[in-house]
Amino acid sequence: MSKLVNPHGGGALKPLLLTGNALQTELERAKSLPKVRISSREVGDLIMLGIGGFTPLDGFMTHADWRGVCDGYKMANGLFWPIPITLSTDEVTAQGIKTGSDVALVDGETAEIMATMKVTEKYTIDKAHECMMVYKTTDTEHPGVKMVMEQGEVNLAGPVKVLSQGEFPTKYADTYMTPAETRALFESKGWATVAAFQTRNPMHRSHEYLAKVAVEICDGLMIHSLLGKLKPGDIPAEVRSAAIAALIEKYFVKDTVIQSGYPLDMRYAGPREALLHALFRQNYGCSHLIVGRDHAGVGDYYGPFDAHHIFDEIPKDALETKPLKIDWTFWCHKCGGMASARTCPHEPADRLLLSGTKLRKALSENSDVPAEFSRPEVLAILRDYYANLKDDEKVEVKLSGHSAK
């Protein structure tokens, strides 16, 4: 019997990806169905449904689910869920779809047929309400709000049969893993407690410090990189992966850390996204999620530790995966090493605050990076990436919010 945490909902993993003859039959059938083009965010959500990352969902949410999740973290059936998983389309496409009929879901960028869906409901939502409840703002400068405001006017609900994982298994063959695969790997290593480290940045010394705290507490650590879309100026997944691999090889004890990746786009929903990160890490087999400063945040829309506090506001039995809450971390010149606000008694003037945004800004401007900021092996990989960017690929990195401190 597995010693790992149970999948969310208490049952078995529920992957919706078809295989073998069933896959070929459904792919053939999908070719003749009405097509609905879906966004990058929806493709990521769909693949997570396919691989069991969003267990126990069977498809995209109904209006009652949407309302319950926005207003009270609960679907219509009472299941805890922190962020709506919805699919939208334009009014003209929606008018041509009858409730109860099947459609094919097509990647809007590649035109690949990703899934079939039985449309059980068509509904409209108050987008501003979703943004206020999930993102705590309606400011369209917020990338998550922008995604919601630009989505189609009609949501489609219903169960899905997933037909593809897109490019992830081939493009990221060294890091992309399904929940079934990570669980099997953890069990092969004899791990019962596993911490997940969520990252969309290359790891600097603060990240390394957080990771090593987790290694002290748990049997193992999974550095879990987002492989979907980020905002302009962020570092691509393949570069981050190489930098993380160098860090693991040089600065962690062998067989205490694995690197993996997952197919979602960032929503930048701060505390709500921290809950979603914990929920699907439970499906991946992780008992803990490291939650540091401004988890899944952007700008100054959230307080630095709102993602800590939100775990105290949900029912204790909502999630089996628990947060490892870690305070401000920094390099302290007087301590002579990494420390946190809970362990270091010295003044702010003695501290070097580290952030991924500061690191990206320095590298993008070819500025000096203090030795305390990042390991030299990591910096070498990142400097090579920035040195090879074309002018039209360069994005000005601005310091704002907590990263500017």
Q: Which residue in the list 67, 155, 201, 360 is annotated as catalytic?
A: 201
Cβ-count burial 219-248 (b if 16+ within 10 Å, e if not) = bbbbbbbbbbbbeeebbebbebbbbbbbbb
Q: Which residue in the list 41, 67, 183, 200 is annotated as catalytic?
A: 200
Q: Is 366 a catalytic residue?
A: no
Q: Is 21 a catalytic residue?
A: no
Catalytic center residues: 200-201
